[in-house]
Amino acid sequence: MAKKLFLFLIAAAFGAAGAFAHAFADAFAHAFADAFAQVPLSFGVSASLISDFGGGVSGRVSEANGAFAGLLGNEVYSHGSYTGLASSIFLDARFVQLSFGHFTSAGSNRSRHGSGLFPTEHTGHSPSGLEIGLLGKFPVELSPRITVFPLAGIAYRVILSGSLYAPTLGADNPSHASALWFRLGGGMDFSLNENMFLRGAVSYGLRLRSRWENDVINGGPYHAGGLVIDGDTLNAGDHRWWVDYDSARLGHGVDVTVGIGFRLR
């Protein structure tokens, strides 16, 4: 009898706990739905000037023989930079903005071997692709028409096509230059009427290493050059040099955005 009573009490306790959890979840869902219904929503389109002022890899000549012995220990780097235009759509929920867009750009690749020896520049570095971004912001109303806001967030820039920083280092797949960005900046909304507004924003971003940068840093040493005459390498073992890339150069850039938004509620 005592055992049955004990089991009954356990079952009743679990039943009460389940009912309480269900009631709590239901109340929370309704409260969340009511709160979300009060959040102003808007969507819009925007155009941006984008940039990446760097990136790439740096290292040192780790082995140099024969005619290239003087290069041993010299700094070597390979990097690219670009500027471009992007078009995006955005969905705004007052404190949060989600955006998705396409960009195209033009820039250049640069490399230096041996502290000024054999400097080269490769033009035509023109990546294009997609970017998805998530920004948090804190709007402050200065007047019925003007609202300003600081912003911070992340964006993932997917490179779909275009030449890259260093094809000789294995950067022949455009997607391997895709990278995650962290952004900080500010903006302003100017209301045209109850339903429309203009938006301007400026942000500065730093990005993480791309896949090709990590692959180059972890994949060395790389054969960098040799003494060749009429297509034949002379004494290959005695007249060649190699490079170890051990660090990534800073990838950073500024985005300037203008757009028009439409309030949904």
The answer to whether residues 13 and 102 belong to one domain is no
The answer to whether residues 34 and 73 belong to one domain is no
pLDDT of residue 230 exceeding 70, the answer is no
Question: What domain range includes position 19?
Answer: 1-38
Specify the 3-state DSSP secondary structure of 104. strand
Check residues 209 and 14 and name the one with the higher pLDDT: 209
The answer to whether residues 28 and 62 belong to one domain is no
Range of lowest pLDDT (69-78, 103-112, 116-125, 209-218)? 116-125
The answer to whether residues 50 and 147 belong to one domain is yes
The answer to whether residues 24 and 141 belong to one domain is no
Residues 29-65: b if buried by 16+ CB within 10 A, e if exposed:
eeeeeeeeeeeeebebebebbbbbbbbbbbbbbbbbb
The answer to whether residues 3 and 130 belong to one domain is no
Q: The domain that contains 151 carries what CATH number? A: 2.40.160
pLDDT (tens digit, 9 = 90+) per residue, 103-128?
999 887 777 665 555 555 555 678 89
Number of domains in the chain: 2
Range of lowest pLDDT (4-13, 79-88, 203-212)? 4-13
Check residues 164 and 194 and name the one with the higher pLDDT: 194
The answer to whether residues 14 and 79 belong to one domain is no
The answer to whether residues 7 and 84 belong to one domain is no
The answer to whether residues 65 and 14 belong to one domain is no
The answer to whether residues 119 and 69 belong to one domain is yes
Q: What local confidence, expressed as pLDDT, does residue 248 receive?
A: 87
3-state helix, strand, coil in the chain (%, to 5): 20, 55, 25
pLDDT of residue 253 exceeding 80, the answer is yes
Q: What local confidence, expressed as pLDDT, does residue 249 receive?
A: 87
Host H or E run for residue 143:
none
The answer to whether residues 34 and 122 belong to one domain is no
Q: Which range has highest mean pLDDT (52-61, 237-246, 256-265)? A: 256-265
Q: If you average pLDDT over residues 32-37, what whole number do you get?
A: 49
Taking the model in full, what pTM does it have? Answer: 0.78
The answer to whether residues 149 and 237 belong to one domain is yes
